[in-house]
């Protein structure tokens, strides 16, 4: 898993931009992005985005079989 946090703006209301690169079950890595004032929420959104992409791809692969 690769994890990257960047500040989008400055000040106490700065947005955190989080990018995660996750590999599920040894498959190729999937990237997720999250944006929020709270770094933890941005991180959660990024991970959930990657997980949703993975599950969506799994569903498409199953429907083709």
Position 28 in a domain:
yes
pLDDT in tens, 9-65: 899 889 999 999 999 989 999 999 999 999 999 999 999 999 999 999 988 888 876
The count of structural domains within the chain is 1
Position 30 in a domain:
yes
Domain that holds residue 7: 2-56
Percentage of the residues of the chain whose pLDDT score is greater than 70: 98
Position 37 in a domain:
yes
Strand order of the β-sheet with 30-36 is: 2-7, 16-22, 30-36
Q: Check which CATH number belongs to the domain holding 38 and give it.
A: 3.30.160.270
Task: Find tokens 């799994």 and name the residue.
Answer: 58
Position 62 in a domain:
no
């Amino acid at each position: 898993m690769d994890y990257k946090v960047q500040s989008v703006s400055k000040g106490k209301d700065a947005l955190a931009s989080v990018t995660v690169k996750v590999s599920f079950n040894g498959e190729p890595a999937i990237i997720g992005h999250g944006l929020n004032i709270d770094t933890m929420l941005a991180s959660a959104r990024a991970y959930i985005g990657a997980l949703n992409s993975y599950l969506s791809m799994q569903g498409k692969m199953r429907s083709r079989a």
